[in-house]
Structure formats: structure tokens, C-alpha cells
């Protein structure tokens, strides 16, 4: 059995994930900084916008004609998010339940075994986050920078007595076979070993962030008093998921919990980048404003999958024991795969704003995002022994993100 440098495989993998999350935060800040620098030259030429900004001036609520004109100049907003990311498609822990194998508990007692657990218990878990937007619009033309980050949503479940079917790729004599002696003879018999984990724990973590830069064009006032803004630009969106399974026992016909503990960790990353178009409609009613927005991103999705496994930890110390694999002392592996897909992303926002002063409003609403051809960790696990691996399929499922937003905006 190969041994890694970390005493505990769980802490080793988690340290890698924490480092990745810190790196992702740094990428987000760097991306936002670069975009600000790109537009900074145009922005600094109009400092009079800030000089004329009346943060605490009285709200303009005149109903003369078709209502007040929208604010111009610099604008910004910050929102608190409470969003949920849809659960991945249900995947079996092990080979699909339609696949069975005959397993033996001694020389004469056997049964058909199939995988008894799947990932349907993961569900949709909500978490908090932040969205920040900044821009400028004058004479119908402008630009906007937007970035969001949703904190990691985590769910864990523990189960007992879980049957799991693996495909044994070792020909003739499998690595999960064991030797037993019939009562009436001294000739040993090789039988297929049952795999029943005394305890199995699932942990799933998912997180997302993104940044976008768009040009704006605002229409003239419509007959009903509203306005339409057309948007076009570029967007980067990232969706990352970590799927971890840890087990106690399993590779023993006697139910021995002291040997055969296992662990597998699969990370799925979606890096989506491409052009984006959008449309915004808004209309004021006294101090109130209705705001509706839609965006479409046609993105290239560079998907990175990584897996770390340690199977049957401790078998080397009990090699040849009763009811244990007779030729296998466990294994460890590390796998990586990269895929490229086209991922469409559709975002819809609906908000209601209340104007507190001339330039300050509070707002609340709902945001929903749908995207296709995304990769999720639980669906990429290949349950093939001796070292498992990453499947070549399962990376084309849709994901839905939605939730409420509450925030404040300046001069919007």
C-alpha cells in the first residue's frame, strides 16, 4: 500500500481545498482590480460627477409628465445574498444498483449484493454571499463592473451498514476475494468478498464566484415612463464542488471495523468564460422603483476534475487475516482529468427599490441563474478497483442557483 505524507488523508485533502479557496479569493480580487484599471482612464476624466453627487439631498418624487429622469454619473451598489445551489444529479455510491455480485460470508453462505446508498440526501443547501457593482452612465452611454461571491455551502450525512458494489478489474482472481475452508474438507475455497461499510459519511461542499464587465446603453424614456438599458460585455463564472466519502470497515466478511477503512475525495471545477448580453427595464413610481434584468452568457467551460483515494487503510497490518482479502493490502491513487464544454448561462433578476434620499436607495429582490453542461463531483466517481478514478462522462448536467438579495445602491 502506498502511503502519503499526511497522517490523516482527510486533513491532507482539506488543506489542499483551503489553499484552493484562498487562491480563488485572490483571483477574484485580482480580476476585479484589472477590470477597474481598464476602465479607470475613462472614469477619471469625469470627476465632476462625484462633486455633484447629492447623497443626502431630498428624493425626487415629482409625478410631472412621465415622472423623474434617472440619475446619471457614477453609481454603485452592494447586496447581501442568500442563495442555494441545486443538488447534483443523484449518483449511486458504488456501481448502479442494477449491477449485482454474488458475495460469500463463508464457504457456503452467500447472497446477491447491490449498492444500497445514493446521493439524494445531499439536497439544496443555502449560504450567504455578497454582490458588488460599480459603474458610470452619462448621456445614455456607460459601463458597469459587477462581482459576486457565494460562501461555501456544506452538507454532511452519516449512514450505517452500507453495501457498495465495486468493479474488480483484476482478472481470474479478484483482489476482493478471500480464502475460506469448507467444514468437510481442508481444501481452501476462494470466494468473492462482501463489501459492507459499518459506517459511511458523505460530505458535499459547493461554492461559486464571478466577475463581469459590460457596456451600457440607456434608451430614451418610454411612453409608460420606464427605461430600457442594453448591456454587452464579458463574464467569468466559477462553480466548484468537493465530494468526500469516508468509511469505517467494509473489506471484511466478518464485519471487522479495525481494518479496511477508506476515503475518496473528488473535486469538480467549472471555469466558464465568454461574451454576455443583457437587458434591464426599470420604472419609478413615486419613491418606488421596479427593476427587472436578464442576462445571457455563452461560455466556454474548462472543467478540471481531481481525485484522491485511500482504500482499505490498515489491511497491510492484518494481511492474511480471517475474512480479509488474501492478495490485497489496500491502495492509494491520485487522478486528474480536463474537459471542455459549451455552457449557456441565463440569469434573471427582479427587484423592488425604495428611494431614501436623492442618491440612496434600499432594495430587495430575487435572482435566479440556470446553466447547462456543468460538472459536479459526486457524478464523476469511477467505482472500479483497485484504484478507482474519474469517469469520462457525467460532466454535462444543468445547475440552478437562486435566492434572495437585500442591499443598498448609490445614484442608481
Q: How confident is the model at residue 39 (pLDDT cuts 50, 70, 90)?
A: very low
Taking only the tens place, the pLDDT of each residue in 53-71 is 666 666 676 656 667 788 8
Q: Contact at 8 Å (CB) between 360 and 306?
A: no
This prediction's pTM: 0.84
Closest CA to 175 of 386, 28, 29: 386
Give φ, ψ of 398 to 5 degrees.
-90, 155
List beta partners, residue 92: 118
- Is 50 exceeded by the pLDDT of residue 42? no
Q: Share the mean pLDDT of the chain.
A: 85
Which residues contact residue 202 at a Cβ distance below 8 angstroms, ignoring those fewer than 6 apart? 93, 119, 121, 122, 156, 157, 158, 159, 243, 244, 245
Query: What is the average per-residue pLDDT within 24-36?
Result: 50
**Top mean-pLDDT range of 199-203, 320-324, 329-333:** 199-203
Q: How confident is the model at residue 314 (pLDDT cuts 50, 70, 90)?
A: confident
Closest CA to 395 of 314, 339, 357, 332: 339
Taking only the tens place, the pLDDT of each residue in 120-147 is 999 999 999 999 999 999 999 999 999 9
Domains and CATH numbers, the chain: 9-410 (2.40.128.100)
Sign of CA dihedral 197, 268, 118, 205: positive
Written as nine digits, the cell of 383 is 467505482
The CB density around residue 250, as the number of other CB atoms within 10 Å, is: 26
Which residues contact residue 114 at a Cβ distance below 8 angstroms, ignoring those fewer than 6 apart? 97, 98, 99, 100, 163, 165
- Residue 316's pLDDT is what? 67
List beta partners, residue 235: 212, 274
Query: What is the average per-residue pLDDT within 10-32?
Result: 50
User: Cα separations (Å) of 164 from 58, 68, 199, 232?
Assistant: 67, 66, 12, 50
- Residue 17's pLDDT is what? 47
The percent of residues in the chain predicted with pLDDT above 70, rounded, is 79
Query: What is the average per-residue pLDDT within 270-275?
Result: 98
Q: Which residue has the higher pLDDT, 321 or 2?
A: 321
Taking only the tens place, the pLDDT of each residue in 70-127 is 889 999 999 999 999 999 999 999 999 889 988 888 888 889 999 999 999 999 999 9
- Is 90 exceeded by the pLDDT of residue 171? no
Report how far residue 197's alpha carbon sits from residue 163's, in angstroms, rounded to the nearest whole number. 6
Beta strand pairing call for 196-218 and 227-248: antiparallel
Task: Classify residue 59 as exposed, middle or buried by CB count within 10 Å of its CB (0-12, 13-18, 19+).
Answer: middle
- Residue 4's pLDDT is what? 40
Amino acid at each position: 500500500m502506498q502511503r502519503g505524507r499526511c497522517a490523516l488523508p482527510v486533513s491532507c485533502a482539506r488543506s489542499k481545498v483551503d489553499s484552493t479557496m484562498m487562491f480563488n479569493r485572490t483571483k477574484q480580487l485580482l480580476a476585479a482590480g484589472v477590470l477597474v484599471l481598464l476602465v479607470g482612464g475613462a472614469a477619471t476624466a469625469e470627476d465632476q460627477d462625484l462633486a455633484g453627487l447629492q447623497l443626502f439631498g431630498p428624493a425626487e418624487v415629482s409625478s410631472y409628465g412621465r415622472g423623474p429622469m434617472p440619475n446619471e454619473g457614477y453609481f454603485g451598489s452592494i447586496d447581501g445574498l442568500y442563495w442555494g445551489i441545486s443538488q447534483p444529479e443523484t449518483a449511486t455510491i458504488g456501481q448502479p444498483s442494477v449491477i449485482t455480485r454474488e458475495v460469500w460470508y463463508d464457504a457456503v453462505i452467500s447472497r446477491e449484493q447491490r449498492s444500497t446508498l445514493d446521493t439524494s440526501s445531499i439536497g439544496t443547501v443555502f449560504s450567504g454571499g455578497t454582490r458588488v457593482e460599480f459603474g458610470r452612465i452619462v448621456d445614455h452611454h456607460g459601463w458597469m463592473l459587477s462581482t459576486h461571491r457565494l460562501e461555501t455551502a456544506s452538507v454532511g450525512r452519516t449512514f450505517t451498514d452500507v453495501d457498495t458494489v465495486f468493479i474488480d478489474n483484476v482478472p481470474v482472481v479478484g483482489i476482493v476475494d478471500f480464502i475460506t475452508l469448507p467444514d468437510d474438507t481442508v481444501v481452501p475455497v476462494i470466494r468473492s468478498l462482501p463489501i459492507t461499510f459499518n459506517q459511511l459519511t458523505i460530505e458535499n461542499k459547493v461554492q461559486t464566484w464571478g466577475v463581469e464587465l459590460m457596456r451600457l446603453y440607456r434608451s430614451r424614456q418610454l411612453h409608460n415612463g420606464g427605461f430600457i438599458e442594453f448591456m454587452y460585455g464579458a463574464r467569468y463564472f466559477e462553480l466548484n464542488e468537493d465530494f468526500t466519502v469516508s468509511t469505517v470497515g467494509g473489506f471484511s466478511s466478518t464485519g471487522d471495523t479495525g481494518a479496511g477503512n477508506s476515503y475518496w475525495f473528488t473535486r469538480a471545477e467549472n471555469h466558464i468564460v465568454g461574451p454576455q448580453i443583457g437587458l434591464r427595464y426599470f420604472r419609478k413610481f413615486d419613491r418606488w422603483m421596479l427593476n427587472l434584468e436578464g442576462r445571457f452568457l455563452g461560455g466556454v467551460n474548462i472543467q478540471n476534475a481531481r481525485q484522491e483515494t485511500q482504500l482499505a487503510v490498515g489491511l497491510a497490518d492484518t494481511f492474511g487475516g480471517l475474512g480479509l482479502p488474501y492478495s490485497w493490502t489496500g491502495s492509494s491513487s491520485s487522478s486528474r482529468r480536463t474537459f471542455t464544454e459549451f455552457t449557456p448561462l441565463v440569469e434573471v433578476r427582479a427587484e423592488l427599490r425604495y428611494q431614501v434620499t436623492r442618491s440612496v436607495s434600499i432594495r430587495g429582490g430575487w435572482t435566479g441563474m440556470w446553466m447547462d453542461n456543468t460538472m459536479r463531483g459526486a457524478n464523476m466517481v469511477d467505482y472500479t478497483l483497485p484504484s478507482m478514478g474519474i469517469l469520462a462522462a457525467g460532466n454535462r448536467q444543468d445547475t440552478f442557483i437562486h435566492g434572495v438579495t437585500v442591499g443598498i445602491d448609490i445614484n442608481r
